[in-house]
A = this chain, B = another copy of it.
Amino acid sequence: MNLKIAVLSGDGIGPEVTLQAKKALHAIGVVYNHEFVFEDAYIGAIAIEKTGKPLPEQTLNLCRNTDSILFGAIGDPKYDNNPEAKVRPEQGLLQLRKELGLFANIRPIKAYPKLMNSSPIKKEVLQGTDFVVYRELNGGLYFGEKNTNEAGTYASDLCEYNEEEIIKITHLAFKEAQNRRKKVTLVDKANVLETSRLWRKVVTKIATEYPDVTLECMYVDNASMQIIVNPRQFDVLLTDNLFGDILSDEASVISGSIGLMSSASIGEKHSLFEPIHGCYTEAKGKNIANPIASILSVALLLDHFGLDTESKKVIAAVEKAIVSNVVTVDLKVDSQFGTNEVGDFVVNYI
């Protein structure tokens, strides 16, 4: 196979972890005879610095014309603490998701036996947990009209959804459930929100087209509790943009470290793969950031292009690294290994 891949490594630890992902993907290419061509471009704070825009035209054009995208991380504390900033790194990612129609963000949540001890949750509770979050990524509170008054004493964000947006991701979620344990849990706040009631109506109707899949509805406040109390109950967790953001970060505690969590953002034409952790600026350049999430996003990419054996190989390499204790300090406090060493181990294994 021949794939052209845009690499948007972004800010903070983005570049160093994405480098390991590229190394892993390159190794897969060599071993399995594929050609992966990488092209780098700016996004986020670094893009603002270089071009004044969080998503330069050039980057967007590149992304439109590649087969897929590897994404690092974005953000910079200097924007976080300045509520007045007009241009922000995160806008780059949001705009990219929207422009490319990446409407589904897919986040697998799994308890790794070897890592259960590093999770704050008890082993008995974690054992056997294996679910996947389907988060809508193009709508909701993130993209509705935003307003402030002149005096700066009032602000608003509009949460909106239309039927089509919900239909698209719902079909993906139900199809995924058919290949898994055949259960979809819709998470919403239908006792309060009009948009949630629309979700419930649309999803309930679509569910009838998948008689082999069970649909369960759960309020988001309850879900945030259930994810910790009884995570095994979930198979496919379907939810909107904001709830998906909160719940999937929460669910990352199940795997033992957010440094293990990767995600796929899928649209009709495009796809993007990224670790779910952020830019973690404090760790930048120290060779301590965990590259596993970024490397696992390569496994998701390969899987997306039907390269099943190759994808499994990457996962096996990561699991081998974990079992061999070749992990960064977030997983083993006294570890000797850094970002680069973990990446090298994975490459060698492949």
Contacts and interface: CB of A to CB of B under 8 A. Distances in A.
Interface size class of A (residues with CB under 8 A): 35 or more
Contacts of A243: 246
Contacts of A155: 160-161, 194-195, 197-198
A51 interface: no
Given A120-B228, A155-B160, A228-B120, A192 B94 contact: yes
Contacts of A79: 191
Contacts of A84: 201
23 contacts: A83-B197, A90-B191, A94-B192, A122-B122, A142-B192, A144-B156, A153-B162, A154-B160, A154-B161, A155-B161, A155-B194, A155-B198, A156-B158, A156-B161, A157-B194, A189-B242, A221-B245, A222-B249, A225-B249, A225-B252, A225-B253, A228-B253, A250-B250
A155 B147 CA distance: 19
Interface in A76-111: 79-81, 83-84, 88, 90, 94
A193 interface: yes
A115 interface: no
A200 interface: yes
Contacts of A247: 224
Contact of A83 (B125, B142, B200, B278): B200
A161 B246 CA distance: 21
Contacts of A146: 193-194
Contacts of A142: 192
Contacts of A125: 120
Contact of A148 (B194, B224, B242, B258): B194
B163 A153 contact: yes
Given A122-B122, A141-B159, A158-B158, A147 B253 contact: no
Nearest to A154: B162
Contact of A246 (B120, B159, B194, B220): B220
Interface of A: 75, 79-81, 83-84, 88, 90, 94, 120-122, 125, 141-142, 144, 146-148, 152-163, 189-195, 197-198, 200-201, 204, 217, 220-222, 224-225, 227-229, 242-243, 245-250, 252-253, 258, 278
